[in-house]
């Protein structure tokens, strides 16, 4: 996937990615996110239940209620949440975690408010720590951290202001404490989330840039291996293909195909017509070679090559004959010929070796070229073979 919009465009004020980027991010990090959330919930549950010990001293009047709500209420819900978050989509997963931590925060707020014990006010100190847990350890996504922090502040401030028997000065101090705790934990969450989002966007940009560079490289490589006029592989591509073929212990057949009297055609019609003729010849060769599972390249000028592996002598001769006949069937007019034939024809030189490992590329091409000149000397519009000249056939 290639996404090229600048980072500033792809993040809104709540640090939300665009839909396509969010999908890519979830695909890459979703499983890791679930694993990290589960580990954090385990740690949080352990610490959360440690506060049953402090309830012995701070909440003796509702100790049993505190223990039951933590162990029987919040803990099973959290365990169920750990199981569920790996089985829902990303958006629901994050909302479930947010609701879960709000629920966990509400319990100590309730205990602080409900207890009449003399030291119950000190349980208020647990609340900023729960804010830190939600915003920094669970690392709620920023927009959900805003929801959690707002809800937590509202619950804690309301409980502090409504708690009976609490001096007004202490109520004010508690509200200020929970406000600063909310601000600092939310600000820390925003910084972490900002770094997370921009880090992913930078990584995404880097991957996209690398992909574009690779595509450009492949495009340039394709261009460097392609003949611009005919669209066929060029001489460089032919050399690469032959190099690969010669590493295999298989028979190989190479044919040199030359357009007869092409210079006279160019002189008569001009180079634009000559170029069009070359393109027609290239297309025809491709059609014939495709049926024979052979490859075609433009060797240079009016010369082409056809290469195939594992052709028998008979099949190689039959393919060469098909090439000669197919080009002749195009009936491209060539009135400038002096040999009485008024259409474009080709001559084909064939060479074949049983194992490419026992010959060199240069030697095989040279033998095919020698066979081509045999066909030329025999009057053109025919094929000849350097391996079995007696099978040469004039058309």
List pLDDT tens digits, range 363-383: 888 999 999 999 999 999 999
In whole angstroms, what is the distance from residue 343 CA to residue 332 CA?
5
Average pLDDT of span 333-361: 87
Q: Which single residue is written with the structure tokens 């024979």?
A: 292
Beta bridge partners of 347: 258
Tell me what pLDDT residue 220 has.
64
- pTM comes to 0.61
Burial class (CB in 10 A: 0-12, 13-18, 19+), 75: middle
CA distances 368 to 107, 193, 240, 305, Å, are 90, 68, 18, 9
Closest CA to 165 of 112, 127, 216: 112
Closest CA to 159 of 124, 128, 208: 124
Does position 11 have pLDDT exceeding 90, yes or no? no
Of all residues in the chain, the percent with pLDDT exceeding 70 is 92
User: E strand or H helix at 308, and its extent?
Assistant: strand 303-309
Beta bridge partners of 385: 350
Average pLDDT of span 92-106: 95
Q: Which two tokens stand for residue 110?
A: 């309730």
State whether residue 338 is helix, strand or coil: coil
Q: What is the DSSP letter of 299?
A: E
* pLDDT confidence bin for 8, thresholds 50/70/90: very low
In whole angstroms, what is the distance from residue 59 CA to residue 44 CA?
21
In whole angstroms, what is the distance from residue 251 CA to residue 265 CA?
36
In whole angstroms, what is the distance from residue 259 CA to residue 137 CA?
76
Q: Which two tokens stand for residue 229?
A: 């006029």
Closest CA to 323 of 351, 354, 349, 352: 349
Does position 204 have pLDDT exceeding 70, yes or no? yes
Closest CA to 203 of 24, 18, 9, 20: 24
State whether residue 318 is helix, strand or coil: helix
Does position 2 have pLDDT exceeding 70, yes or no? no
Alpha carbon 7 to its chain centroid, in Å, reads: 19
Catalytic residue among 94, 126, 302, 303: 302
CA atoms within 13 A on the CB side of 61: 10
In whole angstroms, what is the distance from residue 26 CA to residue 89 CA?
9
Sheet holding 382-385, edge to edge: 295-300, 303-309, 252-259, 346-353, 382-385, 393-394
Torsion of Cα atoms, 199 then 202 then 207 then 209, to 10° = -170
Tell me what pLDDT residue 39 has.
95
Q: Which two tokens stand for residue 29?
A: 């990090």
In angstroms, what is the C-alpha Rg of the chain?
41
In whole angstroms, what is the distance from residue 312 CA to residue 130 CA?
81
Q: Which two tokens stand for residue 373?
A: 């000149």
Between 221 and 319, whose confidence is greater? 319
Beta strands in 91-174 (DSSP E): none
Average pLDDT of span 44-59: 92
Q: Which two tokens stand for residue 159?
A: 């409980």
- Domains and their CATH numbers in the chain: 19-211 (no CATH), 235-394 (3.30.70.270)
Phi, psi at 333, each rounded to 5°: -60, 140
Tell me what pLDDT residue 251 has.
85
Beta bridge partners of 383: 348, 393
Burial class (CB in 10 A: 0-12, 13-18, 19+), 257: buried
Buried b (16+ CB within 10 A) or exposed e, 18-35: eeebeebbbeeeeeebbe
Closest CA to 275 of 301, 257, 256: 301
Does residue 302 carry a catalytic annotation?
Answer: yes
């Amino acid at each position: 996937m290639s996404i090229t919009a600048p980072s500033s465009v792809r993040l809104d004020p709540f640090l939300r990615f665009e839909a396509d980027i969010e999908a890519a991010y979830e695909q890459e990090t979703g499983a890791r996110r679930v694993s990290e959330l589960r580990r954090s919930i385990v740690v949080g549950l352990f610490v959360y239940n440690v506060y049953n010990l402090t309830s012995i001293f701070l909440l003796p009047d509702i100790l049993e209620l505190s223990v039951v709500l933590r162990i029987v209420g919040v803990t099973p819900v959290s365990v169920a949440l750990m199981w569920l978050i790996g089985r829902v989509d990303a958006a629901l997963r994050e909302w479930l975690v947010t609701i879960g931590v709000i629920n966990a925060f509400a319990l100590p707020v309730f205990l602080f408010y409900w207890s009449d014990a003399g030291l119950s006010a000190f349980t208020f100190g647990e609340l900023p720590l729960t804010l830190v847990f939600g915003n920094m350890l669970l690392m709620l996504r920023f927009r959900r951290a805003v929801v959690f922090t707002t809800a937590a502040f509202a619950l804690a401030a309301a409980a502090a202001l409504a708690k009976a028997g609490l001096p007004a000065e202490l109520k004010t101090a508690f509200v200020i404490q929970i406000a600063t705790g909310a601000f600092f934990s939310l600000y820390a969450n925003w910084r972490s989330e900002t770094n997370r989002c921009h880090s992913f966007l930078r990584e995404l940009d880097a991957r996209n840039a690398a992909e574009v560079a690779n595509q450009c490289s492949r495009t340039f490589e394709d261009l460097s291996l392609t003949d611009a006029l005919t669209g066929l592989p060029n001489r460089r591509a032919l050399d690469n293909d032959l190099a690969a073929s010669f590493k295999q212990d298989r028979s190989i057949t190479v044919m040199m195909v030359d357009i007869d009297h092409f210079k006279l055609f160019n002189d008569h019609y001009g180079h634009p017509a000559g170029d069009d003729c070359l393109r027609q010849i290239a297309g025809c060769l491709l059609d014939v070679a495709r049926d024979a599972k052979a490859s075609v390249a433009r060797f240079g000028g009016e010369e082409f090559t056809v290469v195939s592996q594992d052709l028998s002598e008979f099949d190689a001769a039959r393919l060469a004959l098909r090439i000669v006949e197919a080009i002749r069937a195009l009936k491209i007019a060539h009135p400038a010929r002096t040999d009485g034939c008024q259409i474009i024809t080709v001559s084909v030189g064939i060479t074949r070796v049983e194992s490419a490992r026992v010959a060199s590329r240069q030697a095989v091409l040279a033998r095919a070229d020698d066979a081509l000149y045999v066909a030329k000397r025999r009057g053109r519009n025919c094929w000849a073979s350097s391996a079995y000249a007696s099978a040469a056939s004039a058309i």
